Amino acid sequence: MIATGSDAVSLPGLDIDEKRIITSTGALELSKVPEHLVLVGGGVIGLEMGSVWKRLGAKVTVVEFTDAIAAGADIEVAKTFRRSLEQQGLTFRMKSKVLGVDKNGEKLTVNVQDIVKNSTDKVSWLAHN
């Protein structure tokens, strides 16, 4: 999922197809609970969708470029919000960016770079359409 606000922004290496790589609008139209959602960005709309799908059984990983979620929110509110989401089971990868997505049949692999350590790793799962 690309969670960039009410209007999705296309990012290099992420081809939105609204089936496996979706926007927040596509998240409203999923016909079943996904195994794993990777939210690109820690904006309020994407986090709300992530919270809903987590409560329905999906694993949710948030990849956020900055060190805080909910840009523009009061810093204490954002910290409290993050703690609440972590208690729900959302996982956060802060100060990280998505370099792209590799598609191999049903398997999707998101390439993530930690911008502080300048290290990369992968978040993988099987996509079930």
Please report the pLDDT score of residue 46 as a whole number. Answer: 92
Q: How do the domains of the chain map onto residue ranges?
A: 24-97
Q: What digits encode the pLDDT tens for the residues 68-100? A: 999 989 999 999 999 999 999 999 999 999 999
Q: How many residues can be counted in the chain?
A: 129
Please give the mean pLDDT across all residues of the chain: 88
Which residue ranges of the chain lie beneath pLDDT 50? 2-5, 128-129
Q: Are 112 and 123 in contact (CB under 8 A)?
A: yes
Distance between CA 22 and CA 127 in Å, rounded? 12
CATH, domain range 24-97: 3.50.50.60
Please report the pLDDT score of residue 52 as a whole number. Answer: 95
Angle at CA of residue 65, ends 105 and 42, nearest 5° = 80
Q: Is the dihedral of CA 10, 99, 26, 55 positive or negative?
A: negative
Please report the pLDDT score of residue 126 as a whole number. Answer: 57
48 closest CA partner among 70, 75, 21 = 70
Q: What pTM does this model have?
A: 0.88
Distance between CA 45 and CA 50 in Å, rounded? 9
Please report the pLDDT score of residue 129 as a whole number. Answer: 43
Strands 107-114 and 96-104: antiparallel
